[in-house]
Amino acid sequence: MDLDVRQRAMLEEMGLRIFDPRPDGRTDDTPPEPPRHSGGKPALAAGSMAPVAPVVPVVQSVALVPAVRPAGVESMDWAALEQAVAGCRACTLCEGRRNTVFGVGDPQADWLIVGEAPGENEDLQGEPFVGQAGKLLDNMLKSLGLARHHKVYIANVLKCRPPANRNPLPNEVAQCEPFLRRQVALLQPKIILAMGRFAVQSLLNTSEPIGKLRGRAHQYNGVPVVVTYHPAYLLRNLPDKAKAWADLCLARELLRDNAGTRP
Ligand code: SF4
C-alpha cells in the first residue's frame, strides 16, 4: 500500500513494522540509496503504519527451491564451510548466481568487515567489495594500516547475488545467516565493522537507521560491532566520509581495548 511520510512516521512512532513494498526497499529515514551495484548497497525492511490496520507483511517470493543447506554448518572448518556455501541451494538465489561469494582475507584477521550481498562484479569474480566501492574500502583500510589480506577478513551477509541487485529478502537472510555466524566463530575477530544498513540490521537484528546506531559499540555473538555507512553510499555522499572515519577510529579504539581478551 502507498503510505505517505506522515503515515510512515506514525507507524514508526507506534513501533509497528511492515516490509516496504517500494521498489528501492527503503524503510527508514536514512538517505535514499540507488539500486545496488558492484560493491553493493544496503537497504531493508521498514517501520510504518497504516491508517487502516492491520499491518501485513508484503508477500515476498519465498523459497521456490527446496531448502538444501548442508547439515552441521556450526561445526565445519573453513574448507568445509566454503565447500558448503559453494554447493548451497537453500534459497532461490542459487538459481541466478555465477559464483558464490564466500569471503576473502586473512583467516587470522582481527577485523571482520561485513557487507550486504554480492553485486554484479562480485558475482562475476567471486569476491566481495570489488569495483569503486571496493577501492574506497581498500583506501579506508589503508588509512588504518590495514589491507584486505592483512589482518582483515571481508564477507557479506548473503553469499549469492540477488537478481538485478534487488534487496535481500528476509527468507534469504535467514537461510544464509548460519554461514556468516560460523565464519565469525572460526575467525574470532576482535572487531566487526558492519557496513551499510542491511548488514547492520541483519547483524544487530534491528530496524533502527544507521544514524541512530553509529558512535557506540554493539555486540554480535560476543564480538564488538561498530556500525558505519557502506562505501557505495559514501561515494554518493562525500560529506559523510568524515562520519565513516570517526566510525573507523571508534572501531580501532574498541579493538585495542579488546586486544587482551582474545585467546
Ligand atoms: S544466498 Fe546463502 S542460503 Fe541462499 S543459496 Fe546462496 S549460500 Fe545458500
**Best-predicted range by mean pLDDT among 16-20, 107-111, 145-149?**
107-111
Residue 150: alpha-carbon gap to chain centroid: 21
Mean pLDDT along residues 90-94? 96
* pLDDT higher than 70, residue 34: no
Q: Give the range among 82-86, 96-100, 138-142, 254-258 with minimum mean pLDDT.
A: 254-258
* Dihedral angle, C-alpha 220, 59, 22, 203, nearest 10 °: 0
**Other Cβ atoms closer than 10 A to 150:** 12
pLDDT bucket at 12, cuts 50 / 70 / 90: very low
Nearest-5° angle of CA 203, CA 99, CA 81?
Answer: 55
Ligand 1 within 6 A of CB of 174: no
Residue 210 vs residue 33, higher pLDDT: 210
**Percentage of residues in the chain having pLDDT higher than 70:** 73
CB-based contact 146:112 (threshold 8 Å) = no
Quick check: CB of 90 below 6 Å from ligand 1? yes
What confidence tier does 18 reach under pLDDT thresholds 50, 70, 90? very low
Least confident segment among 41-45, 94-98, 223-227, 238-242: 41-45
Q: Say yes or no: CB of residue 225 within 6 Å of ligand 1.
A: no
Contacts 24+ apart (CB under 8 A), 129-132: 129/39, 129/40, 129/154, 129/231, 130/38, 130/39, 131/37, 131/38, 131/39, 132/38, 132/39, 132/232, 132/235
Mean pLDDT value across residues 171-179? 94
* 65 CA closest ligand 1 atom index: 5
The pLDDT assigned to 67 comes to 62
Q: What average pLDDT does this structure show over 3-29?
A: 41
Residue 258: pLDDT band (50, 70, 90) is confident
pLDDT given at position 6? 45
Higher pLDDT among residues 149 and 62, named by residue? 149
Exposed, middle or buried by CB within 10 Å (0-12, 13-18, 19+), for 2?
Answer: exposed
Residue 2 has pLDDT above 90, yes or no: no
Report the residue among 61, 62, 65, 69 best suited for mutation to probe ligand 1: largest number of ligand atoms under 8 A from its CB.
Answer: 69
- Identity of residue 115: G
Q: Tell me the average pLDDT of the chain.
A: 80
Ligand 1: which of 156, 159, 165 to mutate, most ligand atoms within 8 Å of CB?
159
pTM, rounded to two decimals = 0.75
Q: What is the mean pLDDT of residues 214-225?
A: 96
Q: Is the CB of 50 under 6 A from ligand 1?
A: no
The Cα 167–Cα 197 span in angstroms is: 11
